[in-house]
Amino acid sequence: MDMAEFLKWAETAPADLRASATHALARAFLDADVDEETRNAMEAALTVLLDDCSPDVRFALADALGASPDAPRHIVLALAVDQEEIAEAVLSRSPLFIDSELVDIVAGAPESLQTAIAARELVSSPVAAAIAEVGDRLACWRLIDNEAADVARVSLRRIAQRFGDEPEMREHLLTRRKLPPDVHHMLVRRVSDALGELVTERAWVPEGRARELTRDACERATVAIAAESQSDELPALVEHLRITGQLTTALLLRAVCAGNVPLFETALAVLARIPDTRVKSMVRAGRMSSLKPIYVKAGLPMMAFEAFAAALDTCRRIAEEGGPRDRYRFTREMVEGVLARYRDITDGEVNELAAMLRRFAADQAREAARDYARTATAAA
C-alpha cells in the first residue's frame, strides 16, 4: 500500500481498524524485505501514527515494536512517555534503552513503569540499584523475583533496609536464592526485634528475660547463617556484624562451640586487619601462643582467650577421634570442655560467657529432642 494513501485512509477510519492496520504495518516494517525508499516511507508513516488520538493505535505500535532491536528508536522513546499501559509495553521489553535512560525513568516514573523495568529480561546492576533506592514496593518485589536481574549485594541490602519491617517483604527476600549472608542476617534481626517487642508489649515475660531470649535467638540464627555461607561471603557478614555492634565475644564463642570455626577465623582476620590465611594456619595447627597476639590485636577480651583455646582444642580432639554422630553430642562435648577449663580460670565465678554456654547447651539438648521426636513420628 502507498503510505500516503494509508495515512489519508487513517484520517477517517474507525479506531479499531486503524489499530489493526497499524500493528500490521509495524510488523511489515520489521519483517518485510523492501527497498530503502519504501522502508523510509513506512517509518515516516509509523512516526505520524504516534500522534493518533486513539490509545489503541499507539498501543498497537508499542505491542508490535516493543521487543524488537530493529524498531525505530525515536518511536520507542516516544511510546515510553505515553500512557502507562503503552509505556509498559516498551519499557518491559525493548532492548533499545540504555542504562542511563532506564535509571532516569525509574527516578520519576509511577509504580507500574518501575515494575515493568524491574521485570525486564535483562536488568543491569545500575538499573537494579536505582529500583532498590527509589522504587516503590511492587517494583522492588518484582526485582527480587527476577532471577535474571543483576542485583548487587548493596541493592539487596537497601531493599532490606527500606522494606525489612514488612513481614511479607521479609519473607519474600528470604526466599531469594543466594541471598547474601549479611542481608539474611539483617532480616533475621528485624524478625527477632519484632518478636521481642511483641513479647514485651504483651507482658508474656519480664522485659529483661525478653531481651535475653531475643539475643539468644538472634545469635543462634547468626551462627546458622554463617554455617551455610561460602567462605568468600564470611568477610561481608563479619563486617556487617561489626558495624551493627553484634560481633560479640559471646557470639564468636557460641559459633566455635557449634563447630563453626571459620566464622571465628574470619572475625579475627577482619578485626586484627591481617590475612585470613595466616589466622587459619595458626588456628588449625593449634598454635595458641602465636594466635594470642592476634587475638589481642583484634580487641577481644583476654578473660575469654582460654575459653576460645579450650573450644578449639576440644574441636580438634573431636575431629581426630572421628567426632560424635549427632550435633547435640558434639555441642555438649564442646561446651563441657570449655566450661571445665573456664571454671578453673575464673575460680568458679559465674559470668556472662559461662551462662551463655550453659543456655546454648540446653538449647541444643532441646533441638536434639525435637529432631528425635520428628524422626520417630515420621517412622511410626
| Tens digit of each residue's pLDDT (9 = 90 or more) over 173-202 | 888 877 887 887 778 777 666 555 544 555
How far, in Å, CA of 191 to CA of 176, rounded? 17
Q: Could you tell me the three cell numbers for 95?
A: 532492548
Q: In which band, very low, low, confident or very high, does the pLDDT at 216 lie, cut at 50, 70 and 90?
A: low
The pLDDT score that the predictor gives to residue 73 is: 94
pLDDT for residue 233: 80
Type of residue at 98: I
pLDDT for the residue numbered 199: 47
pLDDT classification of 346: cutoffs 50, 70, 90? low
> For residue range 41-67, what is the model confidence (pLDDT) as tens digits?
999 999 999 999 999 999 999 999 999
Q: 68-82, 161-175, 317-331 — which one is most confidently predicted on average? A: 68-82
pLDDT class for 321, splitting at 50, 70, 90?
A: confident
Tell me 49's DSSP state: G
- Better-predicted residue by pLDDT, 341 or 290: 290
323 sits in the region (left: phi over 0; alpha: psi -120 to 50; else beta) called left
The pLDDT of residue 342 is: 62
Q: What span, in angstroms and rounded, lies between the C-alpha atoms of 274 and 379?
A: 50
What is residue 113's predicted lDDT score, i.e. its pLDDT?
96
SS3 content of the chain, % helix, strand, coil (to 5): 75, 0, 25
Of 146-150, 200-204, 266-270, 276-280, the poorest mean pLDDT is in: 200-204
Three-class SS of 119-186: CCCCCCHHHHHHHHHHCCHHHHHHHHHCCCCCCCHHHHHHHHHHHCCCHHHHHHHHCCCCCCHHHHHH
Which is nearest to 334 in space by CA: 355, 351, 358? 358
The band of 349, judged by pLDDT with boundaries at 50, 70 and 90, is very low
What pLDDT is attached to residue 284?
84
CB-CB neighbours of 332 under 10 Å: 17
Where residue 176 falls (left for φ over 0; alpha for ψ -120 to 50; beta otherwise) is: beta
N-to-C CA span, the chain: 77
Close Cβ partners of 378 (under 8 Å, ≥ 6 residues apart): none
